[in-house]
Structure 1
Amino acid sequence: MSFLTVLPLAIVMVAGPQLLSAIFLATSREWRRNSVLFVVGAGLSISTGVSLTYFLGGVSTGGAAESNGILSLVVVVLIVVAMISTFLGREDSEPPKWMGKLDRATPRFSFRLGFLLLGVFPTDIVTSVAVGSYLAANGLPLWDAAPFVVLTLSLLALPSLVVVVLGARAETLLPRVRDWMNDNSWIVNEVVLAFFLVLTLT
């Protein structure tokens, strides 16, 4: 799988409450353990979805060229659906109420949150299935999914990495970023999705 294929897939995986939760956890009381376990939970969830699809033979897509085209089509459809859903829900684009409790999250809760957020969202399920199906249809080894998994987890780890790099300055920066994303979440999602739609189509 090429980087230009993996990148939009990873963006689709984290766009929305997934990345916002990572920012909240990076500003929580036990941010180190919370952030690490959130990413670990997400990694386990994604790997499980891809692996199950792979070992079950994936969704039948025919030959290599056809499966490659179908994967690209799945990416485009996912991004378009996400853009439409984001636009239609722009008036109610407030984060879920449980996000307000993330500043007091426990490591155990953070692990469960990472596992569930990346494992139960329809777009995440479809994306993991698409990756597993692509590998199975093309006779590729399962570890070829590693770039997809690693890139997705890297995006989720970005907020905590900012804290590590910026130190005390992050205590001021990240809350501002979090609040701005809360107030403008639908705009952020639309811009990101539109960028990767163009990237996928070119």
Structure 2
Amino acid sequence: MSRLLTRHTRGLWSMANLLAVLPLAFVMVAGPQFVSAVFLAASRDPRRASIAFLAGVALGTALSVGVFYLLAGLVHDPARAAEPDSGNSLLDYLLPVLLVAMAVRVFLRRGSSTPPAWMTSLAESTPRFAFRLGLLLFLFMPTDVLAAMTVGSYLARHDLPWWQCAPFVAVTVLLAAIPLLILVLMGKRADVLLPRIRAWMTTNSWVVSEIVIIFLLVVTLAG
């Protein structure tokens, strides 16, 4: 009976920790990542390109979180972490500094709202290119790297298994799939709505980026 109760309590605690990192899925998608998904949903072959993009998103997110989970596991000492005066790790100090530096950089470059040249060519994307785009964006975008670092290190520090990042990956993919869902559910009306979303995201990209960075900073400091 005691074993069953302990297992149940541990499961509830793990779920609470999992819910704490799920909001970071928004960080993974907001910005050029979502704009790219909108471009692909309005491309020559929108369904195949979008599905390939989402496959890249899933793989890139899982790989990124997994790498930081392993790295955090190498420096994490459960016995030392259990001590009340164990203090913060270098990662706990590094993340906020990086986020503040990124916020300053985004603010200073706020006047530039023109999408990069590669983004304007997404209308002719092949599924193969879309897959590589999703993989590389979610592996190397600075905000995604920091979000994956936060999630991976969070799971490792709380001695949670790596596979518990699966809901986080799933929510990330679901958010990235919103343009495709709009296309499927709205049909021809999506031809009007998607360009409006793309234009707004492009014009206000620096605002979106600042919101994402501040949100990630709050989550990092609260964790």
SS for the counterpart of 1:94 is coil
Match of 1:90 among 110, 133, 150: 110
Measure the CA separation in 2 of the matches of 1:11 and 1:72: 21
Measure the CA separation in 1 of the matches of 2:92 and 2:83: 11
Instruction: Report how many residues are paired.
Output: 200
Match of 1:159 among 172, 176, 179: 179
- Identity value in percent: 47
Match of 2:190 in 1: 170
- Write out per-residue CA displacement over residues 32-79 of structure 1, whole angstroms, 9 at most, x where no aligned residue: 011111110111111112223334553635526999x87887776665
Where in structure 2 are the equivalents of 1:1-202 lying within 5 Å? 1-7=17-23, 9-56=24-71, 58=73, 60-62=75-77, 63=81, 80-191=100-211, 193-194=213-214
**RMSD of aligned alpha carbons:** 2.9
Measure the CA separation in 2 of the matches of 1:79 and 1:173: 32
State the AA in 2 paired with 1:6: L
Tell me if the contact between 1:12 and 1:78 (Cα under 8 Å) persists in the aligned partners.
Answer: no
Cα deviation, residue 80, structure 1: 4.1
SS for the counterpart of 2:121 is helix
Measure the CA separation in 2 of the matches of 1:113 and 1:196: 23
- Write out per-residue CA displacement over residues 60-107 of structure 1, whole angstroms, 9 at most, x where no aligned residue: 35526999x878877766654443332111112321111110011110
Cα deviation, residue 2, structure 1: 3.8
State the AA in 2 paired with 1:91: G
Judged with a 3 Å threshold, the aligned counterparts in structure 2 of structure 1 residues 163 and 112 are, in CA distance, closer, same or farther, namely same
SS for the counterpart of 2:73 is coil
Judged with a 3 Å threshold, the aligned counterparts in structure 2 of structure 1 residues 111 and 28 are, in CA distance, closer, same or farther, namely same
Larger-gyration structure (1/2): 2
Measure the CA separation in 2 of the matches of 1:166 and 1:75: 40
| 139-148 or 34-43: bigger deviation | 139-148
Tell me if the contact between 1:5 and 1:72 (Cα under 8 Å) persists in the aligned partners.
Answer: no
Tell me if the contact between 1:30 and 1:106 (Cα under 8 Å) persists in the aligned partners.
Answer: yes
Measure the CA separation in 1 of the matches of 2:162 and 2:181: 28
Q: TM-score, normalised by structure 2?
A: 0.75
Cα deviation, residue 17, structure 1: 1.2
Measure the CA separation in 2 of the matches of 1:78 and 1:156: 25
SS for the counterpart of 2:21 is helix
State the AA in 1 paired with 2:183: V
Q: TM-score, normalised by structure 1?
A: 0.82
Gaps of 5+ in 2: 1-16
Tell me if the contact between 1:35 and 1:110 (Cα under 8 Å) persists in the aligned partners.
Answer: yes
State the AA in 1 paired with 2:19: F
Cα deviation, residue 122, structure 1: 2.9
